[in-house]
Amino acid sequence: MRSRAALSWFISLLFLLFLPHAFSSSRPQWILQRVPVVLPQQTDVRPAPHFLSPARLDVSSPCDPECHKKAPRLNYWDLRQTLAYETLHANGQLTETAIGIYGYNPNSDTSLAYSSGSSGKSERSHVRRKRQIFGHDGRFSIAGQNFLLKYPFSVAVKLSTGCSGTLVGDRHVLTAAHCVHDGKNYVKGAQKLRVGFLKPKHRDTQTSTFNVPSNFTNHVEGASYAPPVTDKMKFQWIRAKRTHVPKGWIKGNANDIGMDYDYALLELKKPHKRRHMKLGVSPPARRLPGQRVHFSGYDNDRPGQLVYRFCRAGEETPDLLYQHCDAQPGASGSGVYARMWDGRRRRWERKVIGVFSGHQWVEKQGASQEFNVAVRLTPLKYAQICYWIKGNFVDCREG
């Protein structure tokens, strides 16, 4: 019976491997677009942070999509203030950088049409248990070196503050701002922030005996599978050299604002030597393959395990993507990505299009509405993060 079940599983796997080719004529494609330029203008030293409060891994907001849509539009000067940023250095020094925006007309583009002010507070703010698993738990624990050390799962990392992150450069990790800053000050552990990479616990550890095709992970997302758990893994840590956080997050309290600027970029002290995932401007949800998004992170209820999930994207605002992907505290900061066809390079490619932020719930007329929320990479956010990574705007003009 066991061999028959294994054969059935293998046949299903082959079907999944070859299924995408049957629909190659209608493959969803990345559409490159010219993005604006976000350049630093002046940097000043700020008072040293306190690092007193622990990081909150279950950040939430009562501002729903309608709340965001009613918020006033940001003008050019508002955008400059929200995209200005602080940089926390490993020696504890803090700097603030003003920015200039070029090639961007806020009147003709709605990618940042709404602000993330605190106007969306719920009228009923009593404490309640927030649900982050919607119905059946659809998460998959990824195990075995054949999976954990292979792209795209290998780009997921763990932060020493308890969050997750995604490799987006040779030295750079994209994560959520609330993982290092609570909206008022930098959290405990942010100065000596470390990034953890899962690696084999022993050099002589045997790899999984189950042989998978070399291109298995190109098609595994969306499939139900159970890789063998035979390899013992541990985290190898690298210290962060710099941490960039946009002022759009810092200007308010993390529990009152709408998560629009809940993203941060870490620069490591040394290269991680792994393949990283490219950034992409977030397309409308209707253009995503199957309208699905994917992300992997280190959920607290499954310690030491990398947890992968995918789900259908729901409602969206210019800055946020709402979905019901099952997640628990610890997954915040994970890079939300999609896989589409790159017509220029003639290949399928995954790109990070957002950062998983957390949970939103609103009670209206006694009915509860709940979402898990990701911050979308708008053209301006793409331009800013890309500049943090590349150090120039020439390599950041197309997203």
In whole angstroms, give the CA distance from residue 376 to residue 292: 14
* Cα 73 to Cα 245, 261, 302, distances in angstroms: 22, 15, 41
Q: Output helix, strand, coil percentages for the chain, rounded to the nearest 5.
A: 20, 35, 50
* Beta carbons of 186 and 47 less than 8 angstroms apart: no
Residue 109 annotated in active site: no
The catalytic position among 332, 334, 357, 359 is 332
**Active site includes 332?**
yes
Cβ contact 265:385 at 8 Å: yes
Instruction: Give the DSSP letter string of 93-118.
Output: -EEEEEEEEES--TTT--TT-S---S
Catalytic residue among 78, 109, 256, 342: 256
- Concerning whether 68 is annotated as a catalytic residue, the answer is no
Catalytic residue among 178, 181, 272, 276: 178
H or E segment to which residue 360 belongs: strand 347-364
What is the DSSP secondary-structure string of 198-262? EEESSTTPPPPSS---TTGGGT-TT----------EEEEEEEEEEEEEEHHHHTS-TTTS-STT-
Distance separating alpha carbons of residues 319 and 326, to the nearest angstrom: 21
Q: Which residues does the annotation mark as catalytic?
A: 178, 256, 332
